[in-house]
Amino acid sequence: MKNIFLALALLSNALAFSQSNVSIVFHHKLGNDDFAFNTVHTNNLGNSFKLIRLEYYITKYSIVHDGGQITQVSSDTVSLIRAQDLISTIQLGQFNITNIEGVKFYIGVHTPVNHEDPSLFPSYHPLAFQAPSMHWGWTSGYRFIALEGQSGPTVNQTLEIHSLDDHNYFQTSVNVNGEQGQNGLEMHVDADYVLGLYNININSGLVVHGADNEAANLVSNFVNYVFTPNVLAVKENQSTYFSIFPNPANGTVQIQLMEDISNCEVELLDVSGKLISTRKISSDAALLSVQLENPGFYMLNLMKDGKVLQSSKLINN
């Protein structure tokens, strides 16, 4: 009997030591700049805008790890993201994970939680009453995204897009590696909110509160375009290995290699993370040309020994 208890104790200790704290770190951006209120930026349509509010919910995280295994995070983990925080760190929990390969999550609040009473949550909870409000009403539920500011040629027209409703609840995925931080494994993700307004005409201002049209497009842009791996954030003094031009491209993009990066590969992925092509780099290569068949957003990764050395967003018009 003593041997059984000893074996159980050893197993328990082994499991405890094999688990790692896992967190996701969002770096809030407007293009290449850190997020800031009342700074003027331009979307792909040439429409100027500045923001005074940007808040949104993230729920139902999943971690991709160790050869494509997927571990679900507790659905009780609900994040209210505020872009003005510049960096948002979300603790996902302890897991038996060695190598992180990606993360999946949903924009918005899942049913039936989306239709619960905010007064039932403690005041510190993301789903409790907020100021300004993130709750639209029991029928429609929570605001999945609340974006407010001004836009137009002189940036003085009202811009408000509040996206809601169950049918706008979609999952996005980011192929990001986990890095060892002070408190465990960390996934660093850029959130570029200029891309949230991709192909949304805001040149005369815009006020849309609801589930359709530009409100639905905003959610779609968050799902498809906003989130990408932040490679430089996890390693100080990391080299810049390549530059790409033109960006946006018109069918062809040139990759200028900045230093000797032999025994590496260039990966081209679409917005869903699907691998489109892989190209090995020869030792004497200095300039690569890549053809892009379809318009949209892409990720260009420089890989070595299964690790991402540099990652860049690319737009093809």
pLDDT in tens, 83-113: 999 999 999 999 999 999 899 999 999 999 9
Give the C-alpha separation, 136 to 53, whole Å. Answer: 16
Partnered with residue 206 across adjacent β-strands are: 159
pLDDT (0 to 100) of residue 286: 76
Rounded to two decimals, the pTM is 0.79
Average pLDDT over residues 221-243: 73
Q: Contact, 228 vs 189, CB < 8 A?
A: yes
Give the C-alpha separation, 301 to 282, whole Å. Answer: 16
Give ranges for CATH 2.60.40.10 in the chain: 242-316
DSSP letter string, 129-148: --SS--EEETTTEEEEEEEE
The mean pLDDT value of the chain amounts to 88
The secondary element (H helix, E strand) that includes residue 2 is helix 2-18
Give the C-alpha separation, 141 to 134, whole Å. Answer: 9
pLDDT (0 to 100) of residue 260: 65
Per DSSP bridges, beta strands 48-65 and 41-42 are antiparallel
Indicate the CATH number of 242-316 among 3.90.199.10, 2.60.40.10, 3.50.30.60, 3.20.20.70.
Answer: 2.60.40.10
Give the C-alpha separation, 165 to 151, whole Å. Answer: 25
Establish how many alpha carbons lie within 13 A of residue 64's alpha carbon, considering only the half-sphere containing its beta carbon: 14
**pLDDT at residue 233 above 60?**
no
User: pLDDT digits over 105-159, tens only?
Assistant: 999 999 999 999 999 999 999 999 999 999 998 888 999 999 999 999 999 999 9
Task: Note the helical H segments in 79-236.
Answer: 214-221
Which residue type, as a one-letter code, is found at position 119? S
* CA distances for 111 relative to 141, 166, 217, 297, angstroms: 9, 7, 21, 30
Question: 277 CB contacts (<8 Å, ≥6 apart)?
Answer: 267, 268, 290
Phi/psi-derived region of residue 35, left when phi > 0, alpha when psi is between -120 and 50, beta in every other case: beta
Q: Percent of the chain scored above 90 by pLDDT?
A: 59
| Least confident span in 40-54, 78-92, 175-189, 253-267 | 253-267
3-class secondary-structure state, position 125: coil
Give the C-alpha separation, 218 to 212, whole Å. Answer: 10
